[in-house]
Amino acid sequence: MATRANILIVEDSPTQTKLLRLILEDRGYIIDSAPNGVKALECIRVKKPNLVITDIVMPEMDGFALCKVLKSDPDLKNIPVMLLTSLSDPQDVIKGLQAGADNFLTKPYESTFLISQIQHIFANLELRNIWDSNSEIEIMFSGQKYFINSDRMQIVDLLLSTYENAVQKNNELHKAHDDLIEIHRQLEQKNNDLERLNQNLLQALAEVKTLSGLLPICAHCKKIRDDDGYWNQIESYMAKRVDVEFTHGICPDCAKKFYPDVVSKIKLKF
C-alpha cells in the first residue's frame, strides 16, 4: 500500500484527532476525520478510505457499532478497521472479534508503534484475500456465549495485534520500573549528600558553641588553651575554628610604649 493511502479518523475528541492527524500526515497519509460513527458512515459512502481508525466510546454510534455496520456491507466490508481502546476490559477483544475489527491499538500509544501497526494492516490485505471466509464460530467467554463471523486471517491479525499491544505496554512498564530505580538511586545520592552537609553543619555549630563559651587565655602572653590542654597562639587557635585570616600590625598605644623613637620621627615628618 502506498504511503499516500487515505485514512479516516473517527474520534469525538478534537485534541486526540489533531494529535493523530499530525502523526499520520507526517508520514504522508491523506487524512479525513469524523466525530462519531454516524458522521463516519456519511464520509465513507462519499469517499471510501483505505483504513478506518476509530475510537470505541463515542456518542450516537460507538466504534464497535461502526465496525459492525462496515463489515456487514458488501461494498465496505474490505475496509480494514483499527479500534482505539484502553483494553481495560477483556471483553473488548471479544466485542472486537464480533464486530469484525482488524486491529487493536491501546491508548495512550507511541507514534512509531501506531505506524508499524498500520503498515502491518496494509501488508496483510493481499494475504487476507487468499483465505476463504469461514462459517460462524460459537465461543464461550466469562459465562457468556459469543458468535464470531470474522474469517480466520482476520481473527489471527486481531489477536496478534492485541498481543503486540500487551508486549508494548509491558516494555513501557519495564522502562518505567528502570526509571524509578534510577530516580531512587539519585534520591539516595542526594540523601547521602545532605547527610554529609548536615554533619558538617553540626561540626561547625559545635565549634561555634565552643567559641561562644569561656576561653582560658594567658594574662601575659595571651595564648589560648584548647580542649586538649595545649596552649596555642591566638592566631593559630582562631584560624582552626573560624573562617578568618590574621594580619599583623601595631596599635598606637603599643607603638608609643615600645617604639617611641619611630613614633617621634613619624610625627616630625608629618
Domain carrying residue 87: 6-166
Tell whether 162 and 220 lie within a shared domain.
no
Domain count, the chain: 2
Say which residues have a Cβ less than 8 Å from residue 218's Cβ, sequence separation at least 6.
224, 231
Confirm if 169 and 106 have CB atoms less than 8 A apart: yes
263 falls within a domain: yes
CA dihedral 196, 200, 201, 204 (to 10 degrees): 170
154 falls within a domain: yes
210 falls within a domain: no
CA distance 90 to 109: 18
3 state DSSP class of 221: coil
Confirm if 161 and 103 have CB atoms less than 8 A apart: yes
Q: Which three cell numbers stand for residue 229?
A: 590542654
Confirm if 161 and 104 have CB atoms less than 8 A apart: yes
Indicate which CATH number applies to the domain containing 77: 3.40.50.2300
Tell whether 222 and 147 lie within a shared domain.
no
CB burial readout 56-91, b (16+ within 10 A) else e: bebeebbbbbbbbbbbeeeebeebbbbbbbebeeee
Tell whether 158 and 264 lie within a shared domain.
no
3 state DSSP class of 40: helix
Give the domain-ending residue among 147, 166, 185: 166
Count other C-beta atoms under 10 Å from residue 10's C-beta: 31
Which run of H or E residues covers position 85?
strand 81-85
29 falls within a domain: yes
249 falls within a domain: yes
79 falls within a domain: yes
List the chain pLDDT tens, one digit each, 270 residues: 545 899 999 999 999 999 999 999 999 999 999 999 999 999 999 999 999 999 998 988 999 999 999 999 999 988 999 998 776 666 777 788 788 888 888 888 888 889 988 988 887 776 555 554 555 555 554 566 655 565 655 666 666 666 666 666 667 777 887 888 888 888 888 888 888 888 888 877 766 655 556 778 887 777 888 878 888 887 787 777 766 677 777 888 887 888 888 777 776 554
The H-assigned helical ranges of 73-110 are: 91-99
97 falls within a domain: yes
Contacts 24+ apart (CB under 8 A), 89-94: 90/141, 90/142, 91/141, 91/142, 92/56, 93/158, 93/159, 93/162, 94/139, 94/141, 94/146
Please identify which residue in the block is written with the cell numbers 584548647.
226
18 falls within a domain: yes
3 state DSSP class of 129: helix
